[in-house]
Amino acid sequence: MAGLIEQLRTGLPAEAILTDPDIMGAYAHDMASFCEAGPPAVVVLPRTVQQVQHIMRTATATRTPVVPQGARTGLSGGANASDGCIVLSLLKMDRILEISPVDRTAVVEPGVVNAALSRAVGEYGLYYPPDPSSWEECTIGGNIGTASGGLCCVKYGVTAEYVLGLDVVLADGRLMSTGRRTAKGVAGYDLTRLFVGSEGSLGIVVRAILALKPEPPRQLALAAEFPSADAACAAVCRIMERGHTPSLLELMDRTTLRAVNDLTHMELPETTEALLLAAFDVPDPAADLAAVGELCEAAGATQIVPAEDTAESELLLKARRSALVALEAVKGTTMIDDVCVPRSRLAAMLEGVAAIGEKHGLTIGVCAHAGDGNTHPTVCFDATDPEEAARARTSFDEIMRLGLELGGTITGEHGVGVLKKEWLARELGPVGLEMQQGIKRVFDPLGLLNPGKLF
């Protein structure tokens, strides 16, 4: 280890190298439960592309594994350290290099926080749509690594649709550029899309060219209360079937509503079984909201409450963003799933999750990006109770199995990491898994980049 650190020091300033065990412990894992993490040999915080290249050349020369990290807000263990690895934190590479209103692009380093980018481009009348619930903390590099989504996905799509090009430091320290700055481009294989969602297993993203959109009007929302999750899901299907394009279509079940109230004291309705939030960011949303309100009523909504202004709409949005943190407070620990199913199977997914919770005697709250079928069943449990923790893990696996049986996927936006790699093999099948492992070997023949993740 001394030799490794000495080699790192030849190309890094002293403040970029952390070796104190207590400090390194803070970099050992992300926010996921039930995911192994080992003690790193060293944590490095480069500020330049050249420094990242030096780190990777050193890692290759010494055969030392490297775990790339952003803000460690991930929920699958994808940023967890492995024994004796180099933790490569990109938090110090946090510059917005360029914003072009003409091209509607931004060029950023990976450590830029999602919300900081959103505010910066907003000054030019532009909009960066992907907005994970952790947008005030998570970084663009982390969003790219896990192909993050957010609450606006139903209208605007996910991170992959906004990454035009990348600069990537490969495992051996070479710098590669992918993609383009242009609005169109089909030259060669789409390596940019290959890196989006690769969880740091193919290379280190050190720069990204991102597509932007014109800033939309402030959204206006309504809340609809339903006597069952099944009725709320029926409303979602009717809204999408009729061709509406909401900027937000989110669902929270009764368990989630109670948890959010306990945490935030927002006085959301706890007598309802499901609350559906729908919003539109068009110049005059009144007609859209009225039409959606009618569809909700036809599906069995017991009460429909439109927000009077954007401030009330933002309050509803804040409630939804608080859901996962609120559920964690129920028992102290959570396992957060992000199974995505076809919208037509959303009701079956929620019904199945409720049955799994009852079967195992566990509290499982569900919030969902209902507009695209991305559910977040959240298993609440006491981590100090081994028996309850075992039931939590079993229920988590049963939820993933249910998602696959309904024609869905084990992860819509959180990534595979450590938590779901067994299930990735089941979803891909043997041929798909073999092809993906082959791609990994091309980019990382020594297996140094984020080992133990995905496969």
The answer as to whether 120 is a domain residue is: yes
- Same-domain check for residues 32 and 80: yes
State mean pLDDT over 250-258. Answer: 96
Domain boundary among 160, 189, 214: 214
pLDDT value for 208: 98
378: which 2 tokens? 């959240």
CATH of the domain at 188: 3.30.465.10
Maximum pairwise Cα distance, the chain: 70
Cβ-contact 94, 113 below 8 angstroms = yes
pTM: 0.94
Q: Are 148 and 78 spatial neighbours (Cβ–Cβ below 8 Å)?
A: no
CB 93 within 8 A of CB 111: yes
Q: Which band of pLDDT confidence, cut at 50, 70 and 90, is reported for residue 197?
A: very high
Task: Answer yes or no: are the C-beta atoms of 279 and 219 closer than 8 Å.
Answer: yes
Nearest Cα residue to 118 out of 141, 147, 103, 96: 96
Q: What strands, in cross-sheet order, belong to the sheet with 204-211?
A: 96-100, 105-108, 204-211, 163-169, 175-179
What is residue 17's predicted lDDT score, i.e. its pLDDT? Answer: 98
Residue 53 predicted with pLDDT over 90: yes
| 208 and 227 assigned to the same domain | no
Q: How far apart are CA 215 and CA 143, in angstroms?
A: 21
The residue with tokens 């199995």 is: 401
Would you say residue 447 lies in a domain?
A: no
Query: Can you give the pLDDT at residue 129?
Result: 96
pLDDT level of residue 44 (50, 70, 90 thresholds): very high
Same domain flag for 224 and 206 = no
Residue 241, domain extent: 220-405
How many alpha carbons fall within 13 Å on the CB side of residue 89?
Answer: 24
With a cut of 90, say whether residue 84 has pLDDT above it.
yes
Residues 134, 165 within the same domain: yes
Let me know: does 381 contact 368? Beta carbons within 8 Å. Answer: no
Closest CA to 242 of 294, 304, 307, 306: 294
In this predicted structure, what is the pLDDT of residue 270? 87
Domain co-membership, 113 together with 228: no
Q: How far is CA 319 from the centre of its chain?
A: 18
| Chosen domain end from 89, 118, 138 | 89
- Percent of the chain past pLDDT 90, that is, above it, reads 93
Q: Which range among 47-51, 181-185, 192-196 shows the weakest confidence by mean pLDDT?
A: 181-185
41 band by pLDDT with thresholds 50, 70 and 90: very high
**Mean pLDDT throughout 239-256?**
96
- pLDDT tens-place string over residues 372-419: 999 999 999 999 999 999 999 999 999 999 999 999 999 999 999 999
- How far apart (Å, rounded) are the C-alpha atoms in residues 424 and 432? 10
Q: Give a yes or no: residue 418 inside a domain.
A: no
DSSP secondary structure string, 219-232? Answer: PEEEEEEESSHHHH
63 has a pLDDT exceeding 90: yes
**Is the pLDDT score of 205 beyond 90?**
yes
- The tens digit of pLDDT for each residue in 11-22 reads 999 999 999 999
pLDDT of 408-438, one tens digit each?
Answer: 999 999 999 999 999 999 999 999 999 999 9
Q: What is the pLDDT of residue 70?
A: 97
Mind listing the pLDDT tens digit for each residue in 299-357?
999 999 999 899 999 998 889 989 999 999 999 999 998 999 999 999 999 999 999 99
**pLDDT, tens only, 207-221:** 999 999 999 999 999
Same domain flag for 32 and 77: yes
Task: Please report, as a single letter, which amino acid is at residue 97.
Answer: L
Question: Is 442 inside any structural domain?
Answer: no
Claim to verify: residue 171 and residue 65 sit in the same structural domain: no
Rounded-to-integer distance, Cα 106 and Cα 112, Å:
11
Banded pLDDT at 253 (limits 50, 70, 90): very high
Domain count, the chain: 3
Mean pLDDT value across residues 239-265: 95
The answer to whether residue 33 scores a pLDDT higher than 90 is no
Query: Which of 214, 233, 266 delimits the end of a domain?
Result: 214
CATH assignment at residue 38: 3.30.43.10
Q: Is residue 356 part of a domain?
A: yes
Give the integer Cα–Cα distance in Å for 374 and 387: 29
As a whole number of Å, the end-to-end CA separation of the chain is: 27
* Mean pLDDT, the chain, integer: 96
Kindly report the CATH number assigned to the domain that includes residue 306: 3.40.462.10
Q: Who's near 354: CB < 8 A, 6+ residues apart?
A: 229, 364
209 lies in the same domain as 225: no
Does pLDDT of 34 surpass 80? no
Domain-located, residue 270: yes
In a domain, 424, yes or no: no
Question: Where is average pLDDT lowest: 29-33, 153-157, 275-279, 359-363?
Answer: 29-33
- At 408, is the secondary structure helix, strand, or coil? coil
pLDDT at 339: 97
Do 38 and 135 belong to one domain?
A: no
Considering the domain architecture, whether residues 234 and 299 belong to the same structural domain is answered as: yes
Question: Does residue 71 have a pLDDT over 90?
Answer: yes
423: its two tokens: 């299930």
342 and 200 part of one domain? no
178 and 227 in a single domain? The answer is no
Q: Does residue 209 fall inside a structural domain?
A: yes
Mean pLDDT of 94-118: 98
